[in-house]
Amino acid sequence: MCGILFTNIERVSKQSFQNALSKMIHRGPDASLCYESYNIYKYGHNRLSIVDLDARSNQPFHSSDNRYVIIYNGEIYNYKELAKEHQIRMRTNSDTELLLELYIRHGMKMLHWLNGMFSFVIIDTVKNEFFVARDRLGVKPLYYYHDEQGYIFSSEIHPILTIIQDYTLDPIAIRQYKCLRNFFNGRTTFNKVKEFPPGHYYYKQINKYWEVDYSEKLPPTDDELFYLINSSVQYRNRADVSIGSFLSGGLDSTIVTALAKPEHTWTIGFEQSNEFEWSQIAANQIGTSHHPLIMEAEQFLLLCSEIIQRKKDVISVPNEVLLYQMTSVASSTNKVILSGEGADELFFGYDRIFRWASEKRNWDVKQFSELYSYGSEEDIEIIEDALKPYSHYKTPLTIVSSFFQEAHLRGLLRRLDSASMLNSVEVRSPFLDYRLVERLAGVSINYKMSEGIIKAPLKRVFRNMIHPEIIGRRKIGFPVPVSQILPDGVEGRTPYEKWFNYNLTLLRGTL
């Protein structure tokens, strides 16, 4: 896990580029500010060493003939299998080298073989060309700026702002944030910075290499489901550093922890609003050294300001602050942490909105807005724009399930990456394995909510590994009592409207 920065804009000076790279040094404290240039290309890397800790795997990483150079953020979990399958003799034990060698031999088609989370840039110094790619679901961030002179690609927004300097808030994006606490269709808080789309690559233009097939499918057998989930966890349990796990005591994180069996587990909450009882039940059964952390209201507000100051962007979901504090404490023990993120989207864990969609014969955007929006005022134009990539599907359930699997999830992933990487911690989410997504997309709600039971397949398949109290408990999410925490005087008619305004006020104060 690292931070990458690249540009082919000639006017960008070395000093400006290096200053920008320093804005995300937290993404890679083990080998920082590694800068190179070739022709008009400038590229840099901050390394967080997870696999092959030797300096030989530092980046920018060159091919043996020095023709190709790669800067890369992420993990390719099946890199050992791919090296063996394609008979690649490795100079290192690093997935970075494997990624570069696969591209040299096979070009973009190698993207289909990768099981992992990634964003990377490869430069061909002979053809004077570059190739950019991002993982299927957008687990790893990638942002870009484009003008008539070229591109800037970055793991975070802050370095791009540092280089371009001339920017303003995007009014459409701000409406998205205030209505849906998220950004959609490539928009970011800033009008000149875009999100590079997941499942796409750039070679002279942006192209798609992967999309989810939501056509109707038969459900997996219990054995198949167990294999897929266990395989996903074991892939993500590979590292040359210590691995821990988030453990809220909810079903998803408990399954991941039970399969991975880490030594340390982590949870956080407020004194009067937490899940400590259930997380301790799970930890006792699995046998982990469990660390429940208390967040104070005053501390929450201080951390809000700190996060926005550091990343130069708003916080979307309030629990990002809790994740930030939890990974800050955990970072002294675990460099990698496993998460249950993604299971709600796969198994329709947001049962109210999925039940609604399954019962509707015709799409009703107003009802969707009532169920999903966070703003105090209806903004149908923004809702329709956010749903536009999914509106061609024929049934309300497919529209909702595709929107959650891709757009909604991406907002959660942004906050997970930001909160953890500001503390130099890599978070891995087994339920985001593309094999699970492909297998479960289009499977009937009658399977996912069999007999009206939320996440029925997970509860059935893992019932012998999970404590009955956790199997039977009600989902409560990741609670943050926003209305009790925000200071007096923040404008807004609802707690979330106040939250949005509070964030925007803090952000404007940093720009």
Which residues belong to the annotated binding site for L-glutamine?
95
Strand partners, 134: 119
- Per annotation, catalytic residue among 2, 34, 179, 304: 2
Residues 332 and 34: their CA atoms lie apart, in Å, by 24
Binding annotation for ATP: 268, 339-340
Pairing outcome for strands 336-338 and 243-246: parallel
Q: In what order do the strands lie in the sheet with 200-202?
A: 61-62, 68-76, 116-124, 129-134, 200-202, 206-208
Contact 143, 154 (CB under 8 A): yes
In angstroms, rounded to a whole number, what is the distance separating the alpha carbons of residues 324 and 335? Answer: 14
Cα 235–236–238 angle (5° rounding)? 80
Measured CA to CA in angstroms, residue 276 lies from 233, 241, 355, 419, 442 at distances of: 24, 27, 29, 21, 35
**Two structure tokens written together for 340:** 């249950």
Reported for 163-172, long-range contacts at CB under 8 A and 24+ positions apart, including other chains, are: 163/7, 163/12, 163/16, 163/17, 163/20, 164/192, 166/192, 167/191, 167/192, 167/193, 172/382, 172/385
- Whether residue 201 contacts residue 142, with contact meaning beta carbons closer than 8 Å, is answered with no
Q: Is 511 helix (H, G, I), strand (E, B) or coil?
A: coil
Residues 408/350, Cβ–Cβ less than 8 Å: no
How far apart, in whole angstroms, are the C-alpha atoms of residue 511 and residue 506?
9
Diameter of the chain by CA atoms?
A: 64
Query: Which ranges constitute the DSSP H helices of 290-379?
Result: 297-311, 319-330, 343-346, 351-359, 365-372
Residue 387's alpha-carbon distances to 64, 143, 239, 384, 406, in angstroms, are: 46, 21, 38, 5, 11
Give the angle subtended at the CA of 88 by the CAs of 86 and 91, to the nearest 5°: 160
Q: Which amino acid is at 246?
A: F
Q: Is 2 a catalytic residue?
A: yes
Catalytic residues: 2
